Amino acid sequence: MQTKYWVVDNYEEKSKGYPQVKKAAAYLIDNEVVAFPTETVYGLGGNALSEEAALKIFQAKGRPADNPLIVHISSKEQVAEVAAEVPQAAKKLMDAFWPGPLTIIFTKQPNRLAEAVTAGLDTVAVRMPNHPVALALIEAAGLPIAAPSANRSGKPSPTAAKHVYDDLNGRIAGIVDGGETGVGVESTVVDCTGETPVILRPGGITKEDIEAVTGAAMLDVALQDHQARPKSPGMKYTHYAPDAPVYLLEGSPEWIQKQIDKMREQGKKVGLLTTEERLSRFEADVVLPCGQREDLSTVAHSLYEVLRSFNETDVDIIYSETFPSEGVGLAVMNRLEKAAGHRWLREKEDS
């Protein structure tokens, strides 16, 4: 398959008129899959009403069939097309954060969406992205668009069109290049089908942000116990992993350096993910800065780019610093834990 490649500027006032957007929308209407930018990561879009399109998404990604997809819309009114009801808490969250990096779980409309999109569940995950190109594309297609991240399953999510091209060229119909994404990690997912909103996947919209709107919110048990069965799209399987194995190191900089030295003494080439503030404190074969420890939103923004950058090196193992699991730090640590397959080394346990 030849993958079409369209470059567009992400200017709000111009996006709707781009002929490239209209061409990409025509592919979506024809049940082909097209990658496009959002404010979080690049998505791999297909007609959410079409089993044919949904299956093409799963095939292109190599995604397990029991892993549901998020449905993207271009207006709040479109929720009624896919959701059976809109609870009060969901209405408040939509008003506060849409368009934006927040996905809401609703009870789905029966016999409306492709069965593969919801993986046979009676719920549907929906969001309205805050990106002019994404909104223009969805509006031009006139369809709800199912879209997971536009990468091969298990690999770091794409924050630039180049990442999509590297993973999916020849496997999908087209790529809309709208520049680098902003938030850098996927949307927060909140289940609003019960009495209290439950955060199934942390993201740029934090637990504190949600509680300020709804008054209460809970974290899904699977976020605290990785043996529990996750309920959110994109959370059931190992994700975000570069080629070399990743280990999370919790300890002082001096202890982290000792772990690096031990591994290098064994003849291994070691990569380290750290922050700008600590860059000069470490010596390893490859040391890559990932944002600023004082502003974890910068770590979230750079995380996938840095994880992918390790694939361009010849390191045998990747060590990563850890961060406080508060605010957006919860999303950062969630992604790092998935990338590492929950492999930890802790100074307090090192005796």
Which residues carry a binding-site annotation? 40, 63, 67, 72, 123, 127, 147, 149, 157, 187, 201, 240
Cis check for the bond before 253: say yes or no (omega within 30 of 0): no
In the structure encoding, which two tokens stand for residue 210, read together?
């949600």
For residue 28, what is the enclosing H or E element?
helix 19-29
Nearest in space to 95 (alpha carbons), one of 194, 166, 192: 192
What is each CA distance from 253 to 146, 167, 182, 269, 272, in whole angstroms? 43, 35, 30, 19, 12
Decide: helix, strand or coil at residue 298: helix
Q: Rounded distance, CA 172 to CA 43, Å?
A: 12
State the binding site for ATP.
Answer: 63, 67, 123, 149, 157, 201, 240
* Backbone angles phi and psi of 174, in degrees to 5: -165, 160
CB 42 within 8 A of CB 35: yes
State the binding site for L-threonine.
Answer: 40, 72, 127, 147, 187
Q: Rounded distance, CA 44 to CA 233, Å?
A: 14
* Backbone angles phi and psi of 113, in degrees to 5: -85, 155
Nearest in space to 194 (alpha carbons), one of 174, 222, 177, 217: 217
For residue 43, what is the enclosing H or E element?
strand 43-47
